[in-house]
Amino acid sequence: MNTHEGTTVLDPTAEQRPATRERTARPASLSGLTVGLLDISKPRGDVFLDRVEEQLTTLGATVARYAKPTFTKPAPADLRHEIAIQCDAVIEALAD
């Protein structure tokens, strides 16, 4: 569990002692940035991300789309690496 400025983020991995992670500073604007959209391959996640992409492009962001092979496992290391080197920010779709 991470707490920052009154916000609590729960770690869904059910670890007894979850890792503490520093939050990355938010950019002042998304204009000119590349935002990765990660579809975890659950039903209708792509529909949600289509709408998010529309909004991001109106804000001046470039959007890169990615998809996990299956929602039952974490994203493969090579996919996580690709997203990390190509994107300034990422949004993950968790929808049913």
pLDDT at 18 over 90: no
Percent of the chain predicted with pLDDT > 90: 50
- Residue 39 is which amino acid? D
Q: Poorest-confidence range of 55-59, 71-75, 77-81, 85-89?
A: 71-75
**pLDDT value of position 87:** 96
- Mean pLDDT for the stretch of residues 43-49: 87
Cβ count near 46 (within 10 Å): 15
pLDDT at 88 over 70: yes
Helix (H) or strand (E) holding 88: none
* Domain parsing of the chain, residue ranges: 30-96
User: What is the pairing mode between strands 89-93 and 34-39?
Assistant: parallel
What is the token pair recorded at 46? 């792509």
Helix-then-strand count for the chain, H and E: 2, 5
Q: Poorest-confidence range of 15-24, 44-53, 66-75?
A: 15-24
What is the tens place of the pLDDT at every residue in 67-76? 999 888 889 9
Domain 30-96: state its class. Answer: alpha beta
Q: Mean pLDDT of all residues in the chain?
A: 86
What is the token pair recorded at 74? 């974490």
CA distances from 8 to 1, 11, 20, 23 (A): 7, 10, 12, 12
